[in-house]
Chain A
Amino acid sequence: MSTVANAGQLTTAEPRRPWAVSRSKRLLGFGRMLTFAVAAFVATILTPLANFDGWAVAFLLINLAWVIGIASKLGAKERRDAVLRVVITSLAVLAFVPWLSILVTVILKGYRAVYPGYFISDMRTSTPDDELNIGGAGHAIVGSLIMVAIATVVTLPLGILTGIYLTEVRGRLTFLVRFIVQSMAGVPSVVAGLFIFATVVKSMGQYSGLAGGLALAVLMLPTVSRTAEEVLKLVPDDIRSAGYALGARQWRTALLVVLPTVRAGLSTAAILGVARVIGETAPLLLTSLNTNGFVWNPIGGTVASLPTYIFAMFMYGTEYSNARAWTGSLVLLALVFFFFIIARRLGNKSALKANANRRK
């Protein structure tokens, strides 16, 4: 090192991290956990505890026992701290396990019926019980996308208007509107389905994709409005003031200055709404039902959708139909995650932009 070369004159301190856990300590901790895991496995053999959940309980108990044992050397406060750390960690693990299990299950059970034709063919010429290399869910995917598109077309303008009302116009009803939007987020999906059934389906005299789309719109509106409001709130007031200072009226400021800065954020609002409703099953069971073929006309009778397709395949109850249901779930989940990740990326971008604006 250069400091050694001109020793005596200058010594630069190497930056160190005294608080960092040393390597040996980390290895020790890892080894300890491994030992506990093995011990828990032995416990499942020797005691009535069984399977993975029994193993987890044994593992937790051993951990707790160890912590309490080690902590007997500590004061009461540290002991409680250590015990609570184990408890909170295991609660968190318990909270996360079901979703991970779902992800793994969907992938493991779902990949069986995947083949290219699954995405482009329908079920007109095959029964749910046929071999997995014929038939598919193309019609369901198309139906879902059409209905979601209808829902988006209806809710996006309304949601954005609500957002603008809550952040720009701020009329007398601001509080009430915000309250109603939040309450509407909790309308049970089956009630939305009943409502559309009682109005649209009854008056049109038939089930249709339009009805399904409108039922989804009822559920999507609160999500879009809320996200739009959140996004518009991020726009710094300076930008509005700048608009006014240049002589723009409120409508010009809102439409030509404020809205363009949050274009990405508003797309996020729409996409989050889509991700929220694309998996809704109950309202579609009451409004658009299911069919076996492609339906491109949203007012031409019943339409298949991914959720109702999965539901029907599952209720059919044979091995192959079950595999189709799981593959449908895989496609549905992939769609949801796809929308979600896009929303997230757009959201990050717009957040960055808003922050940059704020700093200036």
Chain B
Amino acid sequence: MTIVETPEPRQMMVVYSRADRIFRRIVTGGALTSLLLLGFITAFLVMRSAETFRQFGLDFITGSEWFSAGEDPLGGAVEGAVEEVDESVFSIGPMIVGSLVVALIAMLIALPLSIGGALYIEFYAPRSIYRVLVSLLDLAAAIPSLIFGLWGIQVFTAIGVRWATLLNDRLSFIPIFSVEFENFGRSPFVAGCVLAALVVPITTSVSREVYSRTPRDLIDTCFALGGSKWGAIRSVVMPYGKSGVIAGAMLGLGRALGETVAIYLMLNLVFRYSFEILDSAGGNVASMIALKFGEATDKEISALIASGLVLFIITLIVNMIASSIVARTTPRA
């Protein structure tokens, strides 16, 4: 009796030649630059803002005063003279709160609009204008924020102020809608509306993309069971796209928190905690940096970089949450 020996299946293995290894190393090096860059940015911001944090500690984040004592015009202390006490105080509490308030207003307006817009484009728009709408959406996302700012101040403010007046008229018994002086321009509400217009293209295109990936079979099944269009959207499309929409909203939130020039043009920056969103006083870290940068002393620049660090950390957290949601939900190719 002979035993037929079946040969062992050959082990598959990948052998990289020397050229391959060099190639892989170069490519890896290139890919790691973004990693390094992010590290560098963090390191430099931390380094250059250390002075400020050492001096003011947590007060920098909670306090609400920004005063820069101008530098000695003669430059340097005169020998023998008593060194003057530096009275500069830097803290950005109201700016952080203001950033969050404006971004929140923007998201509250933008989210329903972008979900509605995305659903309309995907499920209601006539096929003939579908492509046009999608391209228009891409183009809108590319409009520079500076132009949003110009438009906001010269076109939208008139409309926004009318809405604000109306809100104040009817709802001033709610604390956030009451104001001290009836001057509604350059208020967090109006700025938030413009910011919403700026964020809508981003959130809409993310939501639309997710909605368009809903399996056609599931939708058809819903129709076959006698569901209406809204029924299909509510029970199939919306649950399917939920995490994608949340990720899009987080991306939009990150953008809204970091927006600089549009807010710079649209908002009156005041170093005072204020939750009256119709009042012509608000705060914003990013535009504060741009505003104070021009005539800043060296110490003030350190404080501005510290503000940048705070902003950077906030947006980074928001974006990391967003990208981890995206990473978890997109099927890997």
Does B124 lie within 8 Å of A85, measured CB to CB?
A: yes
Does B229 lie within 8 Å of A85, measured CB to CB?
A: yes
Interface size in chain B (residues, C-beta < 8 A): 94
Does A91 lie within 8 Å of B148, measured CB to CB?
A: no
Q: Is A266 an interface residue (CB 8 A)?
A: no
Q: Which residue on B lies nearest to A185, using beta carbons?
A: B319
Does A310 lie within 8 Å of B30, measured CB to CB?
A: no
Q: A102-B147, A165-B27 are in contact. Are A221 and B230 (CB under 8 A)?
A: no
Most chain A Cβ neighbours within 10 Å, of B29, B44, B115, B259 = B44
Of the candidates A85, A91, A96, A183, the one whose C-beta lies within 8 Å of that of B316 is: A183
Q: Is B311 an interface residue (CB 8 A)?
A: yes
Does B27 lie within 8 Å of A190, measured CB to CB?
A: no
Q: A81-B230, A187-B258 are in contact. Are A169 and B27 (CB under 8 A)?
A: yes
Query: Would you give the shortest CB distance from A154 to chain B, in whole angstroms?
Result: 10
Q: A221-B37, A222-B34 are in contact. Are A169 and B28 (CB under 8 A)?
A: yes
Query: Would you give the shortest CB distance from A134 to chain B, in whole angstroms?
Result: 23
Query: Would you give the shortest CB distance from B148 to chain A, in whole angstroms?
Result: 7
Q: Is A353 an interface residue (CB 8 A)?
A: no
Does A186 lie within 8 Å of B322, measured CB to CB?
A: yes
Cα separation A225 to B34 with both chains bound (whole Å): 9
Query: Would you give the shortest CB distance from A63 to chain B, in whole angstroms?
Result: 14
Query: Would you give the shortest CB distance from B136 to chain A, in whole angstroms?
Result: 7
Q: Is B281 an interface residue (CB 8 A)?
A: no
Q: Is chain B's interface secondary structure helix, strand, loop, or mixed overall? A: helix
Does B290 lie within 8 Å of A286, measured CB to CB?
A: yes
Does B229 lie within 8 Å of A281, measured CB to CB?
A: no
Interface 1/0 per residue, B5-18 and A, CB below 8 Å? 00000000000110
Interface 1/0 per residue, B118-142 and A, CB below 8 Å? 0111001100000001011011101
Interface size in chain A (residues, C-beta < 8 A): 91
Q: Is A182 an interface residue (CB 8 A)?
A: yes
Q: Is A299 an interface residue (CB 8 A)?
A: no
Report which A residues bind B (CB closer than 8 A): 50-51, 53, 77-78, 80-81, 84-85, 87-92, 94-96, 98-99, 101-102, 105-106, 109, 157-158, 160-162, 164-166, 168-169, 171, 173, 175-192, 194-195, 198-199, 218, 221-222, 225, 233, 249-251, 254-255, 275-276, 278-282, 285-286, 307, 310-311, 314, 325-326, 329, 332-333, 336-337, 340, 344
List 15 A-B residue pairs with CB atoms under 8 Å apart, sorted by A's residue number. Answer: A80-B228, A85-B229, A92-B119, A95-B116, A99-B136, A105-B151, A158-B34, A190-B286, A190-B289, A190-B308, A191-B312, A218-B37, A221-B34, A222-B34, A285-B293
Q: A92-B125, A279-B143 are in contact. List 11 more A-B contacts (CB 8 A).
A: A87-B116, A91-B116, A101-B151, A161-B27, A181-B34, A182-B322, A182-B326, A186-B315, A186-B318, A195-B41, A249-B20
Report which B residues bind A (CB closer than 8 A): 16-17, 19-20, 22-24, 26-35, 37-38, 40-41, 44-45, 48, 112-117, 119-121, 124-125, 133, 135-136, 138-140, 142-148, 150-151, 154-156, 159, 162-163, 197, 200-201, 204, 228-231, 233, 251, 254-255, 257-261, 265, 286, 289-290, 293, 304-305, 308, 311-312, 315-316, 318-320, 322-324, 326-327, 333
